[in-house]
Amino acid sequence: MKLKRKDLLSIEELSVEEISFIIETARSFKRVNERDIKKVPTLRGKTVINLFYEPSTRTRTSFEIAAKRMSADAINISVSQSSVKKGETLKDTALNLEAMRPDCIVLRHASSGAPAMLAELLDCSVINAGDGMHEHPSQALLDMMTVLERFDSLEGLNITIVGDVSHSRVARSNIYGFNKLGANVTLCGPPTMIPHGIEEMGATVEYDLDRAIRGADVIMMLRIQLERDRVPLFPTAREYADRYGLNLKRLKGAKEGLLILHPGPINRGVEISPEVADGPYSLLIDQVTNGLAVRMALFYILIGGPSESEHEAEEPDSNGKERGTA
């Protein structure tokens, strides 16, 4: 299997085979993370730059640990949006960083399409760690991996995504991913959070949470941003929790063996009650564990091979391990 791409920018662009290959590879890395010595020398001498234009602890840490576990040098650069206004452009920043010859830049940016722009500009690999409201591919991969640990296949599975789909890159990546792997995706939230034409991405919309829960195998709760727009998307947190919050009472109507995902960080008591977040169906901790493995897999697949400059260097020496015909 070969991932014929320099960058990981979206789930939309991935084939089913590529998604499966990444998840399969991530499973191997998960075992590495369970060892006493959790480090492998695979990316020795490689450099990964985590370029984060939005505050993020979880994702940045996950990418950083992933790089370090693979023996790459990981450098974190956090840029506050306010300093960008007067500072240098993303393009100039990226060109400057590339001059230091990193192998991969992991970019988190508030503008949709920023990673695509860098990918076109730079020779090094670019991983989208979340761009605006567009995509967050590593999150969707870890979500799919997590569900695939509980089900043999996603074919025919019903997954319900609840919350502010409109502003959610996690939702978009997951709609693509779960669809590609054969699941049925239902979106649920107040109409203010369900964007125009989302059905055309391959999802059904259900405004009533109780109906959306019924028959679901997996429920993914999105984080609710309490202050987002100048004009709020819902009247009060209280009303939101009442109509769209997941609590034990609501889960009474749910299917046996229901799984609950949340990309985190969670607002306990708003979109998800503490009893549910800490309850037996909740896979929140598995998601974090798998996130690390997915990111290691991405590094392995994207930059484990030759750097651009080394590419033409020499014929690979099949050192006796080409099985069958050594």
Partner 1 sequence: MQQILDDKAIDRALTRISHEILERNKGTENLVLIGIPTRGEFLAARICAKIEEFENITLPTGTVDATLYRDDLNLKDEQPSLKETDIPISIAGKTLVLVDDVLYTGRTIRSALNALMDYGRPAAIQLAVLVDRGHRELPIKADYVGKNIPTAPNQGVGVRLSEIDDRDEVLLIIKEDS
Partner 2 sequence: MKLKSLIRTEKREAPPDEEHGYKMKRLVVKGARVLDPATGLDAKLNIIAMGGRFASIRPPHEDDNYEGAEWDVVEAEGLLVVPGLIDIHTHLREPGFEYKEDIESGAKAAAAGGFTTILCMANTEPVNDSASVTRLITKRAAAVSPIKVLPIGALTKGLEGRALSEMGELKDAGCVAFSDDGMPVKDPAIMRRALEYSTSLNLPVISHAEEPALTGGGVMNEGVVSTRMGLKGIPNASEDVMVARDIALAELTGARLHIAHVSTRGAVDLIRAAKARGAKVTCEAAPHHLTLDHGAVVGYDTFAKMSPPLRAEEDIAALHAALKDGTIDAIATDHAPHSSIEKDVEFDAAANGIVGLETALGLTLGLVGDGIISLAQAVTLLTSGPARAMGINSGTLKIGASADMTIIDPDMEWVVEPEKFLSKSRNTPYGGRAMKGRAIRTIVGGETVYEMSAEG
Name the site residues for partner 2 (rule: CB under 8 A): 12, 89-91, 109-114, 116-117, 131-135, 169, 172, 195-198, 200-201, 229-231
| Three-state DSSP class for residue 296 | helix
Q: What is the SS3 string spanning 245-295? A: CECHHHHCCCCCCCEEECCCCCCECCCECHHHHCCCCECHHHHHHHHHHHH
Dig out the tokens for 127 from the structure: 């991983």
Write b or e for each residue in 50-83: b if 16 or more Cβ atoms lie within 10 A of its Cβ, otherwise e. bbbbbebeebbebbbbbbbbbebebbeeebeeee
Q: Shortest Cβ distance from residue 89 to partner 2 (Å)? A: 6
Coil/strand/helix, residue 306: coil
Rounded to a whole number of angstroms, the minimum distance from the CB of residue 316 to partner 1 is 4
Residue 312 found at the interface with partner 1 (CB under 8 A): no
Residue 45 backbone class (left: φ over 0; alpha: ψ -120 to 50; beta: rest): left
Rounded to an integer, what distance in angstroms lies between the CA atom of residue 131 and that of residue 12? 14
204 binds partner 1 (CB under 8 A): no
Q: In this complex, which beta carbon is closest to partner 1, that of residue 218 or of residue 302?
A: 302
- Identity of the residue, 90 or 148, whose beta carbon is nearer to partner 2 in the bound complex: 90
Minimal distance, residue 37 CB to partner 1, in Å = 4
Is position 316 an interface residue for partner 1 (rule: CB under 8 A)?
Answer: yes
Amino acid in the structure at residue 50: N
Query: Is residue 298 within a helix (H) or strand (E), and if so which, with residue range?
Result: helix 284-303
Decide which of partner 2, partner 1, none touches 256; Cβ closer than 5 to 8 Å per partner kind: none
Comparison of 195 and 269: residue with beta carbon closer to partner 2: 195
By CB under 8 A, tell whether 99 contacts partner 1: no
Q: Select 18 or 131, whichever has its Cβ closest to partner 1.
A: 18
C-beta closer to partner 1: residue 72 or 170: 72
**φ/ψ of residue 248, rounded to 5:** -60, -35
Q: Which of residues 28-57 bind partner 1 (CB under 8 A)?
A: 28-29, 31-32, 35-37, 39-42
Q: Beta-carbon neighbour count of residue 255 at 10 Å?
A: 15
Query: Rule CB under 8 A: which residues touch partner 1?
Result: 1-3, 21, 24-25, 28-29, 31-32, 35-37, 39-42, 70, 300-301, 304-307, 310-311, 313-314, 316-317, 319-321, 323-326
